[in-house]
Structure 1
Amino acid sequence: MKASFIKGRTLKTLAPIASVAALVAIALPAQAEDWRGWNIHPDGYPNTTALEEFADAVVEQTEGRVNPRVYNNAVLGDQSDAIEQTRNGALDFANFNMGPMGPIVPETNVFSLPFLFNDVEHMHTVMDGEIGERFADALEDKGLVVLSWFDSGARSIYNTQRPIKTPEDVEGLKIRVMNNDLYVDMIAAMGGNATPMSYGEVYQSLTTGVLDGAENNYPSFESSNHYEATGYYSLTEHLIIPECLCVAKSSWEELSEEDQKIVREVAEEASTRQRELWVESSEESRQIVLDYGVEINEVDDKAAFQALMEPMYEEFIANNPGTGELIEEIRATE
């Protein structure tokens, strides 16, 4: 990885927007950059709200020189397609999870190692510091300019069969995972059968028995309605994966230095806003699924799960020279 170029980021408060309708009504100048933005989440999701506020603030603060529009619910394609579209400039910006980024930016595979971070706050500290800057450099080399880092909480296992309290409880369960070999290996280490599958296919697969379960955070579990098809949510918290607010490098380079500064500052404030919304939304979603009747259980002995992941770490480090030191750096960050 090359040396970082982003130092000393400063957060500023998003300027309040009196009226979106009024902004739309303003005739944009001829040189306006109309940006299309990809988002997998539905209306009202923390990321969606933060992205839409980002778009509105960019229009206002650039005085219409940059005009982003967010397209929700993955209507512009699934995440793998959207990553490629953003890299080649067909899309201008997006909110991407680092999980499926590995095939494009191999360095990001380290985030897919189970139990890498101590907790969500530890992940924030790592990504907002020098290590996060190095990852931003790696993404820029592949055509994606990272403006800020979003939260995606901690992912846990939910299923139709039983509470997960020990690794043995996962044995034999068909669990949907994102498309990454490390997630397949993770579930296999617990004795389960991992099934990579598009997010949009999961609900029907749960209701028909094609899947026994999946793994995700509280807001996604609730907003996808997966809780309606499953009875158990177990707080394994096995993955804490950062997300980025990224801009296509080609779109970024078309901006003036002044507008680049504005867009980056607004993106950093969008990150702060998204994290605040995430905490609120997680608690609301937790209560919704509890009220529906889903059984939620703590996992008292995560060490038993962590011990099963050691061979994954050993193989990962052997296949990716230099990552052992990186993993140590991440774990040592306070």
Structure 2
Amino acid sequence: MRLISKLTAALIVSSAIFAGAANAQTVLRSSDTHPDGYPTVEAVKYFGELLAERTEGRYSVEVYHSAQLGQEADTIEQVRSGVIELNRVSMAPWNSLVPLTLIPSLPYLFTSPDHARKVMMSEIGDEVAAGFEDHGVVVLTYYDGGARSFYNSKKEVNSVADLAGQKYRVIQSDVFVDMVAALGATATPMPYGEVYSGIETGVIDGAENNFPSYESARHFEVAKFFSLDEHTIVPEVFVMSKVHWDRLTDEDKEIFKQVARESAEKQWELWDARVEASRKIVEDAGSTISTPDKQPFIDAMAPVYEKYVNTPELEDFVARIRAVE
């Protein structure tokens, strides 16, 4: 009788262990520097919802927004080493690691956000993504980073000459530093989280970013002059640590890629709505929005293109991007 009881107990324990394994969930941590509710944050949450649904709960995603895990430079190293599994980050900070990312970061390359979306979701985007794997990450998809423009605390910028002598915060990217220099201003690479205090204390005169970032980071409180020059439309990358990617089955890899693509389409919808809402917020708060003639700005970029588009292969790559309709 005791033997039967022991066998029964063992079977119950074994069943419980098996059931636990069958329902085991892998929690994936994802970083974002933007605040909760921002389109990229919400898109990664949506990715997590779809992933949990398509894998029957085997995977879930926890999004650490508002730079909880550090600024972009910190989280890039974390995802490369496998400390975190996922990361949403601008493409520009990858420029020094993945040379081909320099091209989509060039000023006035894309004609509109829609053009950038079509390019990055084509085989051109696949070619750019291929360079990431040598540096420990796999690109799951591209998000829309919006059109970036200059804003400052001093005056309206209606021409290239108005930028002369001003100091602007830029992403830590040589392309951005050279772009600002070509316009006669001084570039100051600085973490995103330090921009507000930098403008407020006069360390910098302004920065450059899109309407949602300008609004959500409250930069409009210290920099009232926004110039809609739209110099860059730099894609965002949503990446996964290759350490963790390589552990996935082929079937799960397909699921990850598919739901990432769907999350990008969701992000585009959220982004377009947020741009309109953010512009209204900053205008209502008293920001002055100017719309300069872009051609002189485009003409000033000649030395930047000479420096970075310096081989026949890169010239062809740029031509292919511009040919996408």
Give me the TM-score of the superposition, normalised by structure 1.
0.88
Q: How far apart in 2 are the matches of 1:204 and 1:328? A: 40
Q: How far apart in 1 are the matches of 2:118 and 2:240? A: 22
Alignment map for 1:312-327 (pairs within 5 Å): 312-318=304-310, 322-327=313-318
Paired residue for 2:135? 142
Shift of 1:277: 0.2
- Please state if 1:333 is matched with 2:321: no
2:295 to 303, 309, 314: 303
- Please state if 1:266 is matched with 2:259: yes
Q: How far apart in 2 are the matches of 1:93 and 1:180? A: 22
- Please state if 1:276 is matched with 2:266: no
SS in 2 for 1:112: coil
Tell me if the contact between 1:38 and 1:95 (Cα under 8 Å) persists in the aligned partners.
Answer: yes
Counterpart of 1:44, as a letter, is G
Tell me if the contact between 2:23 and 2:57 (Cα under 8 Å) persists in the aligned partners.
Answer: no
- Please state if 1:199 is matched with 2:181: no
Shift of 1:28: 7.9
Q: List per-residue Cα deviations over 1:75-111 (Å, max 9, x = no partner).
A: 1122112112212211101112101111111110112
- Please state if 1:72 is matched with 2:73: no
1:215 to 208, 211, 225: 208
- Please state if 1:175 is matched with 2:168: yes
Paired residue for 1:119? 112
Structure 2, unaligned runs of 5 or more: 1-19
Identity of aligned residues (%): 43
Counterpart of 1:42, as a letter, is P
Paired residue for 1:253? 246
Q: How far apart in 1 are the matches of 2:68 and 2:250? A: 31
Counterpart of 2:182, as a letter, is A
Q: List per-residue Cα deviations over 1:269-321 (Å, max 9, x = no partner).
A: 1100000000000000000000000000112x211011111011112123x66
Counterpart of 2:200, as a letter, is T
Tell me if the contact between 2:161 and 2:184 (Cα under 8 Å) persists in the aligned partners.
Answer: yes
Tell me if the contact between 1:151 and 1:275 (Cα under 8 Å) persists in the aligned partners.
Answer: yes
- Please state if 1:87 is matched with 2:80: yes
Change (3 A) 1:96 1:321: farther
Counterpart of 1:144, as a letter, is V
Tell me if the contact between 2:224 and 2:286 (Cα under 8 Å) persists in the aligned partners.
Answer: yes
Q: How far apart in 2 are the matches of 1:28 and 1:220? A: 42
Counterpart of 1:307, as a letter, is D
Shift of 1:30: 6.2
Structure 1, unaligned runs of 5 or more: 1-26
Tell me if the contact between 1:29 and 1:64 (Cα under 8 Å) persists in the aligned partners.
Answer: no
- Please state if 1:58 is matched with 2:51: yes
Q: How far apart in 2 are the matches of 1:139 and 1:308? A: 31
Q: CA RMSD in A?
A: 1.6
Q: Look at both structures and tell me which one has the larger radius of gyration over its CA atoms.
A: 2
Greater mean alpha carbon deviation, residues 51-60 or residues 221-230? 51-60
